[in-house]
Chains A and B, each alone.
Chain A
């Protein structure tokens, strides 16, 4: 079975540029989560969706961050404009009925 798929795996961009991270959850899972991981703050939940609807976005750092889930098999996390402090590993995870979450391999973002 395919796990959670994320793209790109690595992204290097310049400050001010728009960054779009993509996620394909495990088929049949109705919850999707976006996390950010840094050395200083560990794993932080940014936002999660249930049946494509955003449920809790209180972890989104600021208005520069936005996330969408247009259908059950695709979600995006967008940062516009990006800043160096956004450099981190961004993980997408999915679950069925909100239980055990399965993580993707992550996108390593470096903003110069």
Chain B
């Protein structure tokens, strides 16, 4: 199946720092999504991107759909303790199937 490489695998940062993570694929996607998963819960959608080059913000979160359509980036500014969790990227090709990255585990140290 489709391979999505997500990095970094884990991050430990101080409260207030900015965070960057990215996702790359071996083929072109039409849609990129970013999810956050809290312990014991299902993934919750953060941002959806539908167009190459698109830059979308949701509060302190900003995500971009790469120009090549093979990558996407998520940035979190001024991190706070409740940002802790696992962040997943997901990409969609022409079919209705989404492929998920392996996740980035974020720990914010107060």
| Real binding pair | yes
Residues of A at the B interface (CB closer than 8 Å) are 4, 31, 42-43, 45, 48, 50, 55-56, 91, 93, 98-106
Given contacts A100-B33, A100-B48, contact A105 B42 (CB under 8 A): yes
Q: Report B92 CB to chain A, min CB distance, Å.
A: 8
- Give which listed residue, A31, A55, A100, contacts B45 with CB less than 8 A: A100
Closest residue of A by beta carbon distance from B50:
A99
Closest residue of A by beta carbon distance from B48:
A100
Closest residue of A by beta carbon distance from B33:
A100
Closest residue of B by beta carbon distance from A93:
B42
Instruction: Convert B61-97 into 0s and 1s, putting 1 for each residue whose CB lies closer than 8 angstroms to a CB of A.
Output: 0000000000000000000000000001010000111
> B7 at interface (Cβ–Cβ under 8 A)?
no
Contacts of B25 in A (CB 8 A): none
Closest residue of B by beta carbon distance from A55:
B96
Pairwise interchain contact B31-A43, C-beta atoms closer than 8 A: no
Closest residue of A by beta carbon distance from B6:
A42
Sample 7 A-B pairs with CB under 8 A, ordered by A number: A42-B101, A45-B98, A98-B96, A99-B31, A101-B33, A101-B90, A105-B40
Contacts of B44 in A (CB 8 A): 103
Chain A binding surface SS class: strand
Pairwise interchain contact A101-B102, C-beta atoms closer than 8 A: no
- Give which listed residue, A42, A91, A93, contacts B102 with CB less than 8 A: A42
> B100 at interface (Cβ–Cβ under 8 A)?
yes
Pairwise interchain contact B97-A104, C-beta atoms closer than 8 A: no
A103→B103 CA distance, assembly (Å) = 16
Closest 4 CB pairs of A and B: A98-B96, A103-B42, A43-B100, A103-B43
A81→B98 CA distance, assembly (Å) = 28
Pairwise interchain contact B42-A104, C-beta atoms closer than 8 A: yes
A55→B48 CA distance, assembly (Å) = 24
Give the one of B35, B43, B45 with max A CB within 10 A: B43
Closest residue of B by beta carbon distance from A43:
B100
Contacts of B45 in A (CB 8 A): 100-102
